[in-house]
Amino acid sequence: MVDQIVFGIGITALAGALATVAGAAEDTESDIGSQGDPNSQVQLAPQMGYIHRIFNKAIAGEPPAYGLWVALGAGVAWALMAMQVNAVLAIILGSALAVFVQGIYATTAYLGRIASLAKFGQPVYIDIIKSMTTVTMAHAFVAVFTTVTVCYLINVALGHPFPLPLLGLVWGIALGAAGSATGNPFYGKERQYQSQKFGAGVPIAASGNIVRYAEAGERNSLDNGWFSSKLGGPASGVCFGLIVFFELWRTVIFEEIANGWGAVIVGILVILIFAVIDRYIEIWARKTYGPYGKPEEAA
Amino acid sequence: MVVLETLGIMVILIALIGIIIGGVLIGFGVHFVPVGGAPAAMGQAPGIATGVAMLAAGAGLAGLFGGAWAAELGLLVALAAGAVGGGLMMAITQLMVNIIYIFGMGIPVASGKVAKDPITGDTQTEFKSQGTEGHGLPFVSYAGGVIGGMLGGLGGTLIYVMLLDVYLDALPLIYSTNKEAIYLVAVSLAGIFAVGMFLVNAVLAAYNITGTIEGPHDPKFKRFPRDIVASAIATAVTGIFALGLVLV
């Protein structure tokens, strides 16, 4: 009994750590590829006369894209394991295959997105395809591999009833959702609109006028990846890591209490704790930063 | 029609009703989730910077994950575990959104739809930056997101459990074997259909709110009755298909 819980705690901690890496890689990958919501501005810029050299591969949001890639990686890994291939090697091979699908996706999406902007004079840059695609694939591999490993641990070590491919789909979508929610605003406001005032949202009148010149020369997506890897990426990693950790932790440790209700109660307590923290930082921001102007009369 | 004769039409109907209720809970729950979409990624609007369907799916599937894990402990525990799972994912994600806005971007949270937060009473308008409709997640949006995640997880788990029960009874009859032998197939089928129905209902809700919504305080929230009808119909159709799969 004690051994089982200790083992479960260890697996939970490992899964949480892997998920943190997965989230960080996922957000950085999507920012290099400009796939998340800020991509609306990358797509809009040429239509406003701002030609740029940012990679542009948003034909699906991060959640369905990662749902596909992680499920694919998990599915192939599962099939290989059924053929008696070693689990570690199977997961690596499955993830590698999923990443090549991601590479095809990135290439065709970029060509398609940019071609649609031809009437506005936005060119397809061959050197952008060559240099960016491999970088997004590399980051995608890290995200897919770590997430598939998390799913494998959940299935084999912790005994979740879902088979590996289904777990891959579920956690792939969750990975994309968490990474998108956390990393996108930072990439959108602080990188694409770096020239706008710090500490305020982008005025709607500024739409499309993204930063197109780098510290030296024209900006490209590697510059954006470098930026995201310093805060947005790690924050996304912490977000997904916390999600995986607490989902597993409350079940592994507390499900034995009161025939499963222990896990429910602990889950509610954790939610309340996070709500209190959120309220605290909301108040802190209002006091510390102060208002932009005077309160208006209710509309 | 061996399966239908053995299980009885009433068992199938009860499962279908449970599935429809699950689908409606998902559709209704999505309306609570604060979705800012592309403008939220630029600090131009409150909410989370991702699409409606996908954010709801992320939270709801996290709930389904928790609920499926607890399925063997009984219906009530599974449903509660699913609800908490969905709510927990939203609580963590939304906290990180505000942390990024406040500490990463120096932007306080503010609503664009109400002058005062209905829960906390904080005034909102003076904390909106110029040229925007608010940003981040004011507390009413945060609370709405947690509720939405819980409803999504609850609905998804309900669909899964209803399907799983039918499959565990029907598949042994079809394959002339015992429950243990078809357990993995039953779990997989129920899981896949639960995910699929979840996405169907999340997308319907996305259309109903036309892309973005600030939370339960948003005027768009009042459109939910239309979505309940749409969700019930769509889930009934997909539910009949999912159940009909094994009625031979």
Inter-chain contact B49–A184, Cβ cutoff 8 Å? yes
Q: Give the minimum alpha-carbon distance from A43 to chain B in angstroms, rounded to a whole number.
A: 12
**What tens-digit pLDDT sequence spans chain A (299 residues)?**
678 889 999 999 999 999 999 999 999 999 998 888 888 888 889 999 899 999 988 878 888 899 999 999 999 999 999 999 999 999 999 999 999 999 999 999 999 989 989 999 999 999 999 988 999 999 999 999 999 999 999 999 999 999 999 999 999 999 999 998 999 899 998 998 888 888 888 888 888 889 899 888 898 888 888 899 999 999 999 999 999 999 999 999 998 888 889 999 999 999 999 999 999 999 999 999 988 876 655 44
CA dihedral A244, A249, A250, A256 (to 10 degrees): 140
Q: Which of A162, A180, A185 sits opposite B100 (nearest CB)?
A: A185
Q: What is the DSSP letter of A153?
A: I
Q: Give the minimum alpha-carbon distance from A93 to chain B in angstroms, rounded to a whole number.
A: 23
Q: Which amino acid is at A98?
A: A
Chain B residues 78-137 with a CB less than 8 Å from chain A: 80-81, 84-85, 87-89, 91-109, 115-116, 120, 122-123, 125-135, 137
Inter-chain contact B68–A161, Cβ cutoff 8 Å? yes
> What is the Cα–Cα distance from A16 to A150, expressed in whole angstroms?
8
> What is the Cα–Cα distance from B105 to B98, expressed in whole angstroms?
10
pLDDT for residue B1 is more than 90: no
Inter-chain contact B54–A298, Cβ cutoff 8 Å? no
Asked if the C-beta of B223 comes within 8 angstroms of chain A's C-beta atoms, the answer is no
Task: Name, in order, each residue with C-beta under 8 angstroms of A41's C-beta and a sequence gap of 6 or more.
Answer: A188, A192, A193, A207, A208, A210, B38, B42
Of the candidates B107, B139, B122, B101, the residue with the CA atom closest to the CA atom of residue A295: B122
Q: What is the pLDDT of residue A299?
A: 45
Q: What is the pLDDT of residue B240?
A: 94
Question: How many contacts, defined by CB atoms under 8 Å, are there between A and B?
Answer: 299
Q: What is the pLDDT of residue A223?
A: 87
Q: Which of B61, B139, B184 sits opposite A170 (nearest CB)?
A: B61
> What is the Cα–Cα distance from B196 to B193, expressed in whole angstroms?
5
Task: Name, in order, each residue with C-beta under 8 angstroms of A94's C-beta and a sequence gap of 6 or more.
Answer: A72, A73, A74, A75, A76, A77, A78, A80, A148
Contacts of B44 in chain A (CB under 8 A): 201-204
Half-sphere exposure of A243 (CA within 13 A, CB side): 43
Task: Select the residue from B52, B100, B146 to test the A interface by mutation, using most A Cβ atoms within 10 A.
Answer: B100
| Cβ–Cβ under 8 Å, residues B170 and B247 | yes
Segment (H or E) for A73 = helix A62-82
Q: Give the minimum alpha-carbon distance from B62 to chain A in angstroms, rounded to a whole number.
A: 7
Q: What is the pLDDT of residue A57?
A: 86
> What is the Cα–Cα distance from A61 to B49, expressed in whole angstroms?
11
Q: What is the pLDDT of residue A13?
A: 96
pLDDT band of residue B107 (cuts 50, 70, 90) is very high
Task: Name, in order, each residue with C-beta under 8 angstroms of B116's C-beta and a sequence gap of 6 or more.
Answer: A298, B122, B123, B124
Q: What is the pLDDT of residue B3?
A: 80
Task: Select the residue from A282, A284, A288 to test the B interface by mutation, using most B Cβ atoms within 10 A.
Answer: A282
CA dihedral A154, A156, A161, A165 (to 10 degrees): 80
Treating both helix axes as pointing N-terminal to C-terminal, what angle do A164-185 and B75-99 enclose, rounded to 10 degrees?
Answer: 30
Q: Which of A174, A264, A286 sits opposite B122 (nearest CB)?
A: A286
Q: Give the minimum alpha-carbon distance from A100 to chain B in angstroms, rounded to a whole number.
A: 24
Chain B residues 2-21 with a CB less than 8 Å from chain A: none
Asked if the C-beta of B49 comes within 8 angstroms of chain A's C-beta atoms, the answer is yes
Q: What is the pLDDT of residue A285?
A: 93
Token pair 């930056």 is at which residue? B129
| Cβ–Cβ under 8 Å, residues A264 and B91 | no
Contacts of A274 in chain B (CB under 8 A): 91-92, 95
The predicted-structure confidence for B170-209, as pLDDT tens digits, reads as follows 999 888 888 889 999 999 999 999 999 999 999 999 889 8
The complex's ipTM? 0.93
Inter-chain contact B91–A267, Cβ cutoff 8 Å? no
Q: Which of B73, B94, B133 sits opposite A259 (nearest CB)?
A: B73
Contacts of A163 in chain B (CB under 8 A): 184, 187-188
Inter-chain contact B62–A247, Cβ cutoff 8 Å? yes
Q: What is the pLDDT of residue A206?
A: 85
Of the candidates B153, B105, B216, the residue with the CA atom closest to the CA atom of residue A243: B153
Enumerate the β-bridge partners of residue B123.
Answer: B116
The predicted-structure confidence for B134-152, as pLDDT tens digits, reads as follows 999 999 999 999 999 999 9
